């Protein structure tokens, strides 16, 4: 049954950003609607910050065991139970879930609608059978993984941050495409848990951080046995491995890293993700490159790059003036 809802603020996306806005606005007395088409908590809770830190903690525990000999505590390498590791990761997510849940936010007075949102006018959004009219809209839709067009990748198979934390086992060899913070986190965690790990990076790992600090991380990863492969150019024509320049091809990719093994897993973490919102007003808002700028943040999940629209710099031709003004004020 169709119904209408009028609020002060409509927040689209229940990730860390959207939840913060919804909670804060509601506590200040605003009428708030929160629309989420997938899981409450977004990337950070389900496929980013929380599971990555839980996996790192498991890896650190295994590495601490290996290095305990200097304290006079000896023993064989730790036995890694993959199901136990991922059970720990899922347990940490489950423990935090109530903080981001629908009942908690509805208890704050936020109207939560679990549907996909679509703008139907400058002041209205359709979400399932509900039409939401709002004075302000906050678009906090997050992102989806970008899979690079590497020949042979589809055939070899790959994971993303949306699937890697829900695997059944740990790969014998993990290939991480992209040396940003998320890629480096996954590399270290899996290496500490016993997988062979190769990081493929076009430039330097963690390129936006202080080079001296990055060098500390690089030496640490090398000391733990993480292989670092650096591509020479964006066409992926050649790459460096252990200082040697090698030609790249789909066959090389498969044979060099042996993804024929069912226990070899590839995870692309290359570039920014795509905004995940449907706009019925002007599809050019999603297509034109000039309407999207990429900015890095300190949050590990967002540090690859998070897309945001800058109304002052965007090409807003054809966008209703009321919407342009709303974006500027937001």
Q: Are 10 and 125 in contact (CB under 8 A)?
A: yes
Domains, the chain, ordered by start:
3-40+101-143+273-329 (3.50.50.60), 153-268 (3.50.50.60)
CA separation for the pair 179, 202 (Å, rounded): 8
Query: Phi/psi of residue 224, each to 5°?
Result: -90, -5
User: Positive or negative CA dihedral for 169, 170, 173, 178?
Assistant: positive
Whole-number pLDDT of residue 315: 34
Q: Are 109 and 26 in contact (CB under 8 A)?
A: yes
Q: Are 212 and 205 in contact (CB under 8 A)?
A: no
Does residue 41 carry a pLDDT above 60? yes
pTM across the whole model:
0.72
Whole-number pLDDT of residue 234: 45
Summarize pLDDT for 189-231 with one digit per residue, the tens.
Answer: 999 999 999 888 877 888 889 999 999 998 999 899 988 765 4
Q: How far is CA 307 from CA 37, 123, 203, 276, in A?
A: 19, 23, 21, 10
Whole-number pLDDT of residue 323: 37
H helix intervals, the chain:
16-27, 42-46, 49-66, 82-96, 102-107, 153-156, 181-192, 211-223, 250-257, 284-287, 321-329
Q: Are 145 and 169 in contact (CB under 8 A)?
A: no
Q: Are 126 and 2 in contact (CB under 8 A)?
A: no
Alpha carbon 225 to its chain centroid, in Å, reads: 25
């Amino acid at each position: 049954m169709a119904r209408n809802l009028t609020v002060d603020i409509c927040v689209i996306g229940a990730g860390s950003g959207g939840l913060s806005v919804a909670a804060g606005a509601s506590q200040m007395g605003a009428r708030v609607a929160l629309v989420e088409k997938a899981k409450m908590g977004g990337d950070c809770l389900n496929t980013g910050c929380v599971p990555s830190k839980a996996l790192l903690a498991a890896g650190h525990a295994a590495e601490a065991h290996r290095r305990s000999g200097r304290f006079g505590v000896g023993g064989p390498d730790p036995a890694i139970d993959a199901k136990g590791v991922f059970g720990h990761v899922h347990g940490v997510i489950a423990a935090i879930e109530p903080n981001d849940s629908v009942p908690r936010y509805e208890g704050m007075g936020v109207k939560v609608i679990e549907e996909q949102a679509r703008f139907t006018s400058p002041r209205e959004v359709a979400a399932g059978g509900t039409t939401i009219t709002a004075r302000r809209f906050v678009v906090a839709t997050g992102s989806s993984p970008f899979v690079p067009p590497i020949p042979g990748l589809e055939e070899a198979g790959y994971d993303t941050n949306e699937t890697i934390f829900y695997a059944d086992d740990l790969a014998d060899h993990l290939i991480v495409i992209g040396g940003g913070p998320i890629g480096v986190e996954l590399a270290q965690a899996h290496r500490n848990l016993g997988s062979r790990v190769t990081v493929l990076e076009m430039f330097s790992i963690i390129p936006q951080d202080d080079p001296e600090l990055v060098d500390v991380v690089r030496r640490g990863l090398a000391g733990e046995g993480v292989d670092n492969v650096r591509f020479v150019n964006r066409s992926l024509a050649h790459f460096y491995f252990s200082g040697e320049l090698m030609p790249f091809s789909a066959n090389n990719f498969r044979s060099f890293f042996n993804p024929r093994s069912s226990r070899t897993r590839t995870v692309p973490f290359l570039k920014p993700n795509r905004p995940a919102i449907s706009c019925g007003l002007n599809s050019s808002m999603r297509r034109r490159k000039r309407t999207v700028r990429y900015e890095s943040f300190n949050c590990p999940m967002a540090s690859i790059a998070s897309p945001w629209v800058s109304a002052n710099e965007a090409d807003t031709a054809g966008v209703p003036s009321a919407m342009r003004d709303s974006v500027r004020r937001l």
